[in-house]
């Protein structure tokens, strides 16, 4: 499409952590505003204050219900002039334990929803770019760093669902970009899940936090993913299939904690070292007598580092974890809003 033509973007999962990042990048872009881009957010929860956001339309859609989703998609493609240029699916059941506890629901959202969107795009002969998200947890953690082309070997149900999604979408709808992302961090709205905000609250109460020294990821700030997808449209136009989109550093959970403690000035005595291998053995043993413990509680991969060199060549811009955390603090901390609007 022409660089000057207004874009029509559809976003599933706008109330989630990653969806929040997309909305923020969209709203803060002067070029998007001048061009007249429109963003339609589809999610089960419609924040009351969100209706005041400029050029953002919020639609209530039950993403767990195929009929509700199909009704929304049909309206999206009803008129030629209103068809979306891009559909971004940031909706997911992203916690491994939630997948174990609600396997049918998580299967619907993690596998069924992406396939339904892809099938609809294919059936209407659309030229829309479909952007879907996967996870580093499609891997077992014993062969890092993982390339874009690495073969998945997931340990838990969440990883298995995402792996199934990865292999099924492109055959259905070739114009699909599947961004495989790592552990996400960053600022978010009031209603979104944010692990570091929880730690901030615990430190405020004087709680001791143990973080693993032997669990490695390549964390990336949510805003960087949104900037990459929304700002690098031309370089991503012909890119399909799986693409790793991760941060530049391989860090242990404990190393991440050290940076956060340093920047936010938390009491150093509240950060302690944990051992993943030992902890997983303990939990697995307890699972024999405790039915509330699910497989994902003791099936955590050790090293899920991703190689994102291709994404960097395509325009992904990232900074060190500590630099990102410092900027987050300077801009208001882990919970932020726009003009009083908190999603």
Strand partners, 96: none
Give the pLDDT of residue 321: 98
Give the pLDDT of residue 191: 61
Residue predicted with more confidence, 239 or 27? 239
Q: How confident is the model at residue 343 (pLDDT cuts 50, 70, 90)?
A: low
Q: How confident is the model at residue 47 (pLDDT cuts 50, 70, 90)?
A: confident
- Report residue 90 as tokens: 């940031």
In a domain, 211, yes or no: no
In a domain, 75, yes or no: yes
Give the pLDDT of residue 48: 75
In a domain, 338, yes or no: no
Overall average pLDDT of the 4-11 stretch: 91
- Residue 62 CA to residue 68 CA, distance in Å, equals 6
**Top-ranked range on mean pLDDT: pick from 27-31, 196-200, 310-314:** 310-314
In a domain, 343, yes or no: no
Give the pLDDT of residue 4: 75
pLDDT surpassing 90 at residue 31 = no
% of the chain at pLDDT higher than 70 = 96
Q: Which domain holds residue 148?
A: 8-201+218-252+306-321
Q: In terms of Cα–Cα distance, which of 122, 86, 69, 94 is closest to 11?
A: 86
pLDDT surpassing 80 at residue 52 = no
Give the pLDDT of residue 257: 97
Provide CB contacts within 8 A for 208, sequence distance 6+.
269, 270, 271, 272
Strand partners, 251: 217
In a domain, 121, yes or no: yes
Give the pLDDT of residue 277: 95
HSE toward the beta carbon, residue 250, CA cutoff 13 A:
14
Give the pLDDT of residue 239: 97
211 CB neighbour count, 10 Å cutoff: 20
> Which of 118-132, 152-166, 189-203, 267-281 has the weakest average pLDDT?
189-203
**Cα–Cα separations (whole angstroms), residue 158 to 97, 98, 198:** 8, 9, 22
Give the pLDDT of residue 104: 98
Give the pLDDT of residue 44: 87
pLDDT one-digit tens code per residue, 168-178: 999 999 999 99
- Report residue 163 as tokens: 């792996």
- Residue 137 CA to residue 73 CA, distance in Å, equals 29
What is the average pLDDT value for the chain, to the nearest integer? 93
pTM for the whole structure? 0.95
In a domain, 22, yes or no: yes
- Residue 300 CA to residue 98 CA, distance in Å, equals 14
In a domain, 261, yes or no: no
pLDDT one-digit tens code per residue, 104-152: 999 999 999 999 999 999 999 878 999 999 999 999 999 999 999 999 9
Overall average pLDDT of the 217-234 stretch: 96
In a domain, 106, yes or no: yes
Q: How confident is the model at residue 3 (pLDDT cuts 50, 70, 90)?
A: low
Question: For residue 91, what is the domain's CATH number?
Answer: 3.40.50.720
Q: How confident is the model at residue 340 (pLDDT cuts 50, 70, 90)?
A: low
> Which of 158-167, 178-187, 271-280, 330-339 has the weakest average pLDDT?
330-339
pLDDT surpassing 80 at residue 86 = yes
Q: In terms of Cα–Cα distance, which of 216, 94, 211 is closest to 143?
A: 216
Q: How confident is the model at residue 81 (pLDDT cuts 50, 70, 90)?
A: confident
**Cα–Cα separations (whole angstroms), residue 316 to 3, 64, 78, 145:** 19, 31, 34, 18
Number of domains forming the structure of the chain: 1
């Amino acid at each position: 499409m022409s660089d000057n033509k207004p874009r029509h973007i559809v976003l599933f999962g706008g109330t989630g952590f990653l969806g929040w990042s997309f909305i923020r990048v969209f709203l803060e872009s002067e070029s998007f505003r001048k061009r007249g881009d429109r963003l339609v957010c589809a999610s089960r929860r419609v924040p009351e204050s969100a209706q005041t956001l400029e050029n953002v339309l919020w639609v209530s859609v039950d993403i767990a219900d195929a009929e509700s989703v199909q009704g929304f998609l049909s309206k999206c493609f009803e008129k030629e002039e209103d068809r979306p240029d891009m559909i971004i699916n940031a909706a997911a059941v992203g916690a491994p334990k939630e997948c174990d506890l609600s396997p049918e629901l998580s299967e619907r959202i993690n596998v069924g929803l992406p396939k339904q969107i892809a099938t609809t795009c294919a059936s209407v002969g659309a030229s829309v770019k479909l952007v879907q998200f996967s996870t580093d947890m499609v891997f077992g953690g014993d062969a890092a760093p993982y390339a874009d082309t690495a073969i998945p070997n997931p340990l838990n149900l969440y990883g298995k669902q995402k792996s199934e999604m990865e292999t099924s979408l492109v055959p259905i709808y070739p114009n699909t970009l599947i961004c495989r992302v790592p552990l996400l961090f960053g600022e978010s709205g009031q209603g979104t899940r944010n692990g570091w905000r929880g730690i901030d609250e615990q430190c405020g109460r004087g709680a001791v936090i143990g973080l693993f020294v032997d669990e490695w990821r390549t964390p990336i700030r949510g805003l960087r993913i949104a900037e990459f997808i929304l700002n690098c449209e031309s370089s991503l136009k012909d890119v399909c299939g799986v693409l790793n989109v991760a941060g530049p550093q391989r860090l242990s959970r404990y190393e991440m904690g050290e940076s956060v403690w340093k920047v936010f000035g938390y009491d150093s005595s509240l950060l302690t070292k944990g051992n993943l291998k030992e902890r997983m053995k303990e939990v697995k043993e307890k699972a024999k007598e405790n039915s509330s413990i699910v497989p994902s509680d003791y099936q955590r991969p050790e090293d899920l580092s991703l190689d994102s060199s291709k994404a960097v060549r395509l325009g992904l811009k990232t900074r060190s974890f500590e630099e990102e955390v410092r900027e987050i603090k300077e801009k208001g901390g882990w919970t932020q809003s726009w003009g009083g609007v908190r999603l």
